[in-house]
Structure 1
Amino acid sequence: MIFEQSWRWYGPQDIVSLATVKQAGATGVVTALHHIPVGEVWPVEEIQKRIYEIAQSNHKLPFPLHWNVVESLPVHEFIKQGRPERDQLIENYKVSLRNLAECGIKTICYNFMPILDWLRTDLKYELQDGSKALFYDMINVAVFDIFILKRENATASYIQDILQKAKNRYSNFSEVEIENLKRNLLLALPGETDAFTIEKLKNGLEQYEGISREQLQENLIYFLKEVIPVAEELGVVLAIHPDDPPWPVFGLPRIVSTAGDLKFIFEAVPSIHNGLTFCSGSLGASEVNKLPEIIKTYYDRIHFVHLRSVNRVAPYHFYEANHLEGSAQMFELIKTFYDCHQTDQRVLPMRPDHGHEMMDDQGKPYYPGYSAIGRLRGLAELRGLEFGIIQMAKAQEA
């Protein structure tokens, strides 16, 4: 087995129940304490409560569910901005790491994206088969940025071709289309219920004025040099999630987008506990990234895996494809993981990411990308592909 099949669960409020997770064939539960404000310590009591909630679902299961990965233990914006308050917030982060380790949870996914998490311009892009996918279009991002958000000097962030297309598109947009675009780009962060507002986003962007890409990199390394020694002491691994999409948005720098970015991070803090969440969709949205090479180069630092595929329609323009289709070349990716797995026999936690909204799930209030049936299909396809690769290798050895 290359992967431990896992499933993201947003907690008791998630409309995808743990009973559904069991039926999907997962054993690992990827979750977080979303109800605790960012920057505050995760108490042992709250961690144990979540562990107990998962354990309650395990009656008569031969392979019981367990909490195997934290996604995410969020990094406060003041840490990313390098503000004076960061030292106390980092101390809080260390305490949360100690509390998680005390409870036996030692794989921590996090990201260092300023303000926003993943970003899409259409949350219900209809595919030919009638299912709905997530979609990103740089032209619509420019429409929002320039004409709706009205960010100062926004035009400097886009090439002339995008600017002209954005101007033409906005002039033909209906009020309904404008409201849909606003709703999609102001989506609440994963696990939260309160969406952004124009004012909240503008305020957040103002806090990053003057923070360059280089300064953001320095702030990440400052954070890592503080927390990684604690992770080493505890036997905990941190796994940074790549930027999604892997390029700047709304003038905000992005620093975990390419193989070069990863090289910088891992050379600055060489410890193996400073690791990567390999997300084939986030990295794969850019044709610059050669995914098999990233796996081979940084395999020993990959502590968590997100498998999904995007279909790159054009530069800065993609939608979420079926897991075995699109630009990711999933067979090659899993075969590369299999080959690397032979060196150390590590079983990596893996979850299917961003399933399509399909069948009986259509119209239900799922967080976009996290409906049940679409991810079930993705997990089934990925499990089948993994099984086939393993059997093929055994046959070749016989």
Structure 2
Amino acid sequence: MRMVFRWFGKNNDSVTLEQIKQIPGVEGVVWALHDREAGEVWPLDEVMEVKKQAEEHGFHIDVVESINVHEDIKLGLPSRDHYIENYKQSIKNVAAAGAKVICYNFMPVFDWTRTDLFKEMEDGSTALFYENEKVEGMDPRELVNQTTSNSEYTMPGWEPERLKDLERLFDGYRGMTEEDLWNNLQYFLEEVLPVADQHDIQMAIHPDDPPWSVFGLPRIITSEANVDRFLSLSDSPAHGITLCSGSLGANPENDIAGLIRRYHDRIPFAHIRNVNVRENGDFIETSHRSRDGSVDIADIVKAYHENDFTGYVRPDHGRHIWGERPRPGYGLYDRALGIMHLWGLWDAYDLAEKGDETDVEK
């Protein structure tokens, strides 16, 4: 398990590289060029500048999250070939800087979706919250305005330039089925996987968040069966998944640890986080401790440990605690606590392997 930490870049993050350096066991930063729109080529000089900043603090930039897929590719429009060629060049440029994994997603229009970015919890902390009923009765434009109102930082997946013509985007998807989206994804993969393979890059798709249709838009990376189908699309070594325990875990029917045991060699990158799922389908981010949510984090780490997992791992969304007011979901303190919990589990499984009978799940 190789621990990394998402960093949104200089002047675009409340967390500094100096602070990340003080979290035990973190070896790299997960990064992106957040001021580049989907479909643009990532310039090599800008990529190398991030590499320089990271290396000054002893970090690598092995994991990119995310090179966003242009909407025309998801829609299967004739213009997709132009944007796919740009994507290929971006793959080459990040590979030239030493990147090993590109996390991406194929969610139409919206990336991650939440109805409250700072929902207060019983202990006074706040966290990202999804309310089913509210989404069902909400105008999508209201959600865009709410999510992008924090103008201090960029909001990946919610770029105002891309969402300014929301009605046109929704018109494009009108009548599109999940099968259509699968076909468009396969077309994209057939084009980019050979380039990724040639440059020793692993493409790792992120599951849909949440793992069901939002505002009637099709979504396909939502379940164990769909993960099975996705991984069967290609046997290229460049074809894999970013296994996010929180995204898939929002549906309690998904067996995350089971997926890890089945596909550990197809997971170059993992997000580990917990969500507390309520009976009505609402969910809220919570601490990484298993008993605080609905996701068995202890068994997830055990599944990785059993298979000598050497891929990259980062703590995903954390709560906002101790008065911190960071980018939603991405404060310093709770993610640092999450890392130490993950390392504690890993170390305990190491001890158990050596004959110590300590029950790490108590």
After TM superposition, the score normalised by the length of structure 1 is: 0.83
Question: Which deviates more, 266-275 or 212-221?
Answer: 266-275
Greater percentage in helix: 1
Alignment of 1:1-398 (within 5 A): 3-13=1-11, 14-25=13-24, 26-56=26-56, 58=57, 64-145=58-139, 183-185=145-147, 190-191=155-156, 195=160, 200-324=165-289, 325-341=292-308, 346-361=309-324, 364=325, 366-395=326-355
How far 1:293 moved relative to its partner? Answer: 1.2
Query: Which secondary structure does the structure 2 equivalent of 1:337 belong to?
Result: helix
Per-residue CA deviation, residues 345-395 of structure 1 (Å, 9 max, x unaligned), is x5211111111101031xx3x221001112111112112121112122222
Other structure's SS at 2:306 match:
helix
Letter in 1 for 2:84: I
Q: CA deviation at 1:316?
A: 2.5
Separation of aligned partners in 1, 2:231 and 2:190: 11
User: 1-side partners of 2:214 and 2:138: how far apart?
Assistant: 11
Question: Contact 2:14/2:327 (CA < 8 Å) preserved in 1?
Answer: no
Contact kept in structure 2, 1:186 and 1:197, CA below 8 Å: no
What SS does the aligned partner of 2:355 have? helix
**Using a 3 Å threshold, how does the CA distance of structure 1 residues 113 and 221 change in structure 2: closer, same or farther?**
same
Contact 1:186 1:196 (C-alpha < 8 Å) held by counterparts: no
Q: CA deviation at 1:72?
A: 0.3
Between stretches 248-257 and 201-210, larger displacement belongs to 201-210
Deviation of the 1:210 alpha carbon: 2.1
Deviation at 1:197, TM superposition (A): 10
Aligned 8 A contact 2:147 2:158 in 1: no
Residue identity opposite 2:254 in structure 1:
N
Shift in Å at residue 185 of structure 1? 4.9
Relative to structure 1, the CA distance from residue 100 to residue 123 in structure 2 (aligned partners, 3 Å threshold; closer, same or farther) is: same
- CA gap of 1:88–1:114, structure 2 versus 1, over 3 A, is same
Higher mean Cα deviation, 384-393 or 231-240? Answer: 384-393
The residue identity in structure 2 corresponding to 1:120 is R
Calculate percent identity across the aligned residue pairs: 41
CA 1:194/1:232 → structure 2, altered by over 3 Å: closer, same or farther? closer
How many aligned positions are there?
Answer: 350
- CA shift in 2, pair 1:195/1:224, >3 Å: same
Deviations, residues 109-152 of structure 1 (Å, cap 9, x unaligned): 0000011111111112211211111111110101214xx75xxx
User: Contact 1:187 / 1:195 at 8 angstroms: preserved in 2?
Assistant: no
Please say which of residues 187-196 and 218-227 is displaced more in the overlay. 187-196
Q: CA RMSD in A?
A: 2.1
TM-score scaled by structure 2?
0.91
Residues 305, 42 of structure 1: CA spacing in aligned structure 2 closer, same or farther, 3 A cutoff? same
Cα deviation, residue 230, structure 1? 1.2
User: Which letter maps to 1:38?
Assistant: A
Query: Which residue of 1 is the match for residue 360 of structure 2?
Result: none
Greater Cα radius of gyration, structure 1 or 2: 1
Rounded to whole Å, the distance in 1 between the matches of 2:90 and 2:145 is 33
- Structure 1 gaps of 5+ residues are 59-63, 150-178
C-alpha distance 396-388 of structure 1, shift in aligned 2 (>3 A): closer
